[in-house]
Structures are given as C-alpha cells and as structure tokens.
Amino acid sequence: MGFAAIIIGDEIIRGKRQDKHFAKTRELLSGRGLRLDVVTYVGDDPVRLTEVLRQSFGTNDVVFSFGGIGITPDDRTRRCAADAAGLPLEVHPAAEREIRAMSIERKREVTDEMLQFGAFPQGSRIIPNPVNRIPGFSLRDHHFVPGFPEMAWPMIEWVLDTYYRDLFHRKAEAEKSIIILGGNEGTLLPLMRRLEQDYAGLLVFSLPSFGDATTPSHVELGVRGDPAQVDSAFEDMCREVATLGFSYTVDKKNPSPKTGA
C-alpha cells in the first residue's frame, strides 16, 4: 500500500492557479512517518478524469483527490468517480444532514440543487468539512476533498488520523548524502551499483548539477533506507569516493560535515 495524490482542475493545468496540495500532502504524510509515492495532475475533461480514477481504483494505494466535487458544470469528480467505480450516484444520508444543518445555520433554503453537494458514489463514507459542513467522501481507500486548501487540508488530516493511524511511523527511514565537487555519474556508477548489491533494500541516489557562476559542477550522492544500514553504507561510500580521488563535503542537511581527500 502506497500513498498517492490526484490534483484535479483545468485552472492548475493551464497555470491560472498554482498547486499547493502536493507540498502540503507530502508534509502531512511525512509528519506521520509516511511518504507520498505518486502524484497525478489532470484537468476537468471527464473522459481523461474517469480513466485516471479507473486506473487508480485498480491499485492498493491510499489516494487523496483534490478538487471538482462541487456542483458547477466543471465540477465532474463525483460523477467521474462513480463511473470509474461502476456505481450510481446517490445523496448520502449523513451528507444530507450536514447540508441541511449548514443551511439552517446560514438561514438558507434547502434546495434539490444544494443536496447535490452530497451525491456520492453508492457505498461512500463522508469526510467532515470543518469550514462549511459540506462534506467530502471516501470510497474504498480513495478520499475526495474540495480544491480549497483551507477545507482540504484539515479533511486530509482527519482521514489520516481516523483510518490510517496504525500505519504511522511503522517504517523508520534515514538519509545521508555528500556533495562531490567535479564528480560525474559515469565514474560513480560502479560504486552506486555495488552499494545497492551490498546493502539490499537500500536506495542509492545521485543528483548531478552543472553548477553556476558561484558553484562548481557537482554530484549529490546519497543513500536512503533502513537506519541500521544507512550509517555503514554511507561510510563505505565516503571511503570509496575518497579513493577515487574526489573531494566531497557532507550535505548540509547532515549536522556533522567533513571533507574527504
């Protein structure tokens, strides 16, 4: 089981609004010892959106979907989710109660159109909305919230804390890296391959940079995974980088930098 986000809306795809959900979802997951594995951006086209959701329902991922659950013509997420899952839309009783309660609080008439805010795929569960009481919905491990950050983010936190608490901080992970001045991935490739063979399950990563007027070209080389393996793999990596004749510094995220030969 992984964690994924689907961020929906032509306004994002066309650049009329800047997405904030990717960074925030990553933050909310990270604070609970979880990580985001997949992010998908899709516009309001119903054919494309339905296909994205159909493929997503075919995975074991926990999926957070942002946007498109209103009732204007370009809000198609509820219908597309129902079509992707092969289910009818129906007004959820708990959603109806929330909408009616909100309408009473705001002294508004409850119309059939207003109740369509609570029309979800059959079998859905509601996600409480702390801002205006118009809920989102969960279907299996897919969770659909509005595009408004002030609503969406506390709703995602509620989902995580309600349904997935048993997954929090289950798998510890550490990361260490070095900055190799003048390094090149071609020379470092045998080392990277050996580290992944010698430390099964550990991820070795490299991020090359051409540099700029103030920073020379370099490669960030690092290891990520089980803390019990990271320390020994890191020391191994540093020794061989020094043997290859490269100068390096420990990445600034590491509290104790040092320099190799």
Token pair recorded at residue 69: 């659950």
Q: Which amino acid appears at position 177 of this protein? A: S
Could you say which of 3.10.20.740, 3.40.640.10, 3.30.230.30, 3.40.980.10 is the CATH number of the domain covering 3-167? 3.40.980.10
Phi first, then psi: what are they for 140, rounded to 5°? 55, -130
> Which of the four pLDDT bands, split at 50, 70 and 90, describes residue 10?
very high
**pLDDT tens, residue by residue, 110-167:** 899 999 999 999 999 999 999 999 999 999 999 999 999 999 999 999 999 999 999 9
| pLDDT at 257 > cutoff 50 | no
> What's the predicted TM-score (pTM) here?
0.85
Closest CA to 200 of 221, 223, 220: 223
Quickly name the fold that domain 174-250 has.
Alpha-Beta Plaits (3.30.70)
Domain with CATH 3.40.980.10 in the chain: 3-167
Q: Are strands 89-91 and 247-250 parallel, antiparallel or unpaired?
A: unpaired
Cα-atom radius of gyration of the chain, to the nearest Å?
24
Phi, psi of 38, deg, nearest 5:
-140, 140
pLDDT of residue 171: 84
Output the pLDDT for position 208.
94
